[in-house]
Structure 1
């Protein structure tokens, strides 16, 4: 018995859907006869019979999605010795190709009788594209079947023939032949370069922090119905205020102002400082304002948390932010410094980002990203055009917990605060 399995047809597939069978139980089939049509994420393909024989059993019904390696149907093979390569002889006779230079050299060898060849139509197509006589290839597949890899390996060896033996000298009266030979050489070189490009990929272990990040992101994205609201804020006054502070030898990052302003806005819109418990059908409005800071490190994304940000001054937030960021970069964060966040910010502006749709840090309700600040002409209220320092923002929120209008109101409140820092930064100390 011969099992016909769903195999990787060269597209890196992992599964496929059985569309239709071209045969039924009891049918007699010939080698390379199409048996079944499958749909992958990239293409539709026909799987041919590896042997001649009879269909004994169909294992997987059409319409099912199965993994690579799954047996689709079972054949009862005929004695391979009785096979006559009629189809092969017809195909090789009809599909006559111009002889390559390599084949001109091989033509000097004694002629041999045609042998029985097992190869899928796709494999034969590849062989024809490289001007290869498929009979000359030794198959490494089941029952000596020739695979695509066998064709590539053969072409590699063929094209390693020394140039002095590979190209016979053309006579002075055969400039056309010389041009043809040169074209053949360049064509084969290009094909060989193409084969060389098919190198094995580098394998990176998918474990540790990367795997944990993937798990958390997947959980968040497929649990929370995300909606992202885009807004922009004028940071001209904030940047000017920071320069004033620098002159007094007070150095405070813009991110510290962002965190403090977010905390003040959350107090007015506590629905975004909340967590949904679907099982018990309740929403918890957190009384602590613990702001997570999405931080990029060599080991991946980490979110240290500034606890009780509402109780801290802007300067204290700046100091904690500086300490936590350094510890995150050095891999020295304590577990307690990454727990119990209630809202997260992502300051990707320094990285050059101008926009994104951030993923919420589950089980929180919202996350806001601050993007690159750049100078732009802005029409002021009196229709005067001025150059202002504008920053894009994008806030993702859980639409199960809050509606879009509330998200707009929340970001508008943040804008009012961050655009007028002197009105509330009396808490600076």
Structure 2
């Protein structure tokens, strides 16, 4: 994490707060998190406005605490020395490790920043709203329905007071109407902020920093799919993606240059000793990359369970910072969506990314010049040409192909 957007303050200047009381919400490129108060005291001033994007280390607001009650947050000291005055100021900063409220303190809420904003404008405590979206996600419509039910029992005066809090800027799709004689042109917009903006910045940095080369390949999954079906009959349902991840980890050990990070300033390539595979995951809030740590040490079944867990947490907005950090290589399994090819952008500062595309049955000429039907998958690998060359990339994908095309040899090959 390098920066975050201030979504909402729960407090204002002059409010009295207690330790760990949520002060504000921050949108990072990975999640929306609440920052708790590092100490009890009074909010002296709020420095950063909502909607502003600030870098890590920026002071967001200042608390006044009684002498001797300065606190530490996540092991990082926010006030180095006690003040000699009766009252001291304690700045609350945006730290690299963003604390998240525990479910024991507040019910875990799955809702987009905009949905939360709408709820606040209507004076709705989002904890009281029942979500009808996927995994209990609260939608804007859920908030509107809650307001409608609430207002049915309120007076006309109360309803008018509530509705007056909602301004035109709170409509996510804004309609700009321009008179053109008897015709009107309607333009629709959508917000470019939060995770979408962070993804854009990261992709731009990667594309303009790394000289990308994309290599295309295809692999025969016939034997792997047959082996997977055999496992199903034994009540072992293992995803194909779990086999891919294991094979990637094994191939990286033979070609560590793709499990590396380049430090141009110090003129050195760091060969990572851990094999942490990032999983590009599509969510309602945009692309996110949770990490399977030490994939080389896990069995295929363990990878399968970890993959399910991370995908669920990503969809429900429950990923932690530990789930997101430490990736050394990224895979993107877009085949189930129907893709047949792509030129993926590397997850900077990593060296490589491989995307698995659609698998389909097609006629193939075998070694005996016979036409047979096989299950063929296309894949594309992007790599940093500053760190590795095309021949090495081909050797790497050939190693991966050999492993997934011959699953019955894994007891011999995977030492």
- Please confirm whether the aligned pair reaches a TM-score higher than 0.5, indicating the same fold: yes
Written as runs of structure 1 = structure 2, the 5 A alignment for 1:219-238 is: 219-238=205-224
Could you tell me which of 239, 244, 257 is aligned with 2:225?
239
Residue 361 of structure 1 pairs with residue 347 of structure 2? yes
Instruction: Find the aligned partners of 1:154 and 1:395 in 2 and give their Cα distance.
Output: 50
Query: Runs in 1 of length 4+ with deviation above 4 angstroms?
Result: 425-428
Shift of 1:154: 6.4
Q: Report if the CA contact (8 A) 1:231-1:392 is conserved.
A: yes
Instruction: Find the aligned partners of 1:425 and 1:212 in 2 and give their Cα distance.
Output: 43
The TM-score, its normalising length taken from structure 2, stands at 0.56
Q: Which has the higher strand share?
A: 2
> Would the alpha carbon gap of residues 313 and 206 (structure 1) be closer, same or farther in structure 2, given more than 3 Å must change?
same
> Would the alpha carbon gap of residues 384 and 299 (structure 1) be closer, same or farther in structure 2, given more than 3 Å must change?
same
* Structure 2 gap ranges (5+): 1-177
After superposition, the C-alpha distances for 1:93-146 in whole angstroms (9 at most, x for unaligned) are xxxxxxxxxxxxxxxxxxxxxxxxxxxxxxxxxxxxxxxxxxxxxxxxxxxxxx
Could you tell me which of 313, 318, 336 is aligned with 1:332?
318
- SS for the counterpart of 1:387 is strand
Shift of 1:224: 0.3
Q: Report if the CA contact (8 A) 1:270-1:285 is conserved.
A: yes
Over aligned residue pairs, what C-alpha RMSD do you find? 1.8
Written as runs of structure 1 = structure 2, the 5 A alignment for 1:278-427 is: 278-424=264-410
Shift of 1:200: 2.4
Q: State which structure, 1 or 2, has the greater radius of gyration over its C-alpha atoms.
A: 1
The TM-score, its normalising length taken from structure 1, stands at 0.54
Counterpart of 1:199 in structure 2 is 186
Could you tell me which of 232, 238, 241 is aligned with 1:255?
241
Q: Report if the CA contact (8 A) 1:290-1:305 is conserved.
A: yes
Q: Report if the CA contact (8 A) 1:314-1:427 is conserved.
A: no
> Would the alpha carbon gap of residues 200 and 423 (structure 1) be closer, same or farther in structure 2, given more than 3 Å must change?
same
Counterpart of 2:109 in structure 1 is none
Q: Report if the CA contact (8 A) 1:314-1:425 is conserved.
A: no
Q: Which has the higher helix share?
A: 1
Instruction: Find the aligned partners of 1:204 and 1:223 in 2 and give their Cα distance.
Output: 28
Q: Report if the CA contact (8 A) 1:366-1:396 is conserved.
A: yes
* Structure 1 gap ranges (5+): 1-151, 157-194
Instruction: Find the aligned partners of 2:332 and 2:308 in 1 and give their Cα distance.
Output: 15
> Would the alpha carbon gap of residues 325 and 154 (structure 1) be closer, same or farther in structure 2, given more than 3 Å must change?
closer
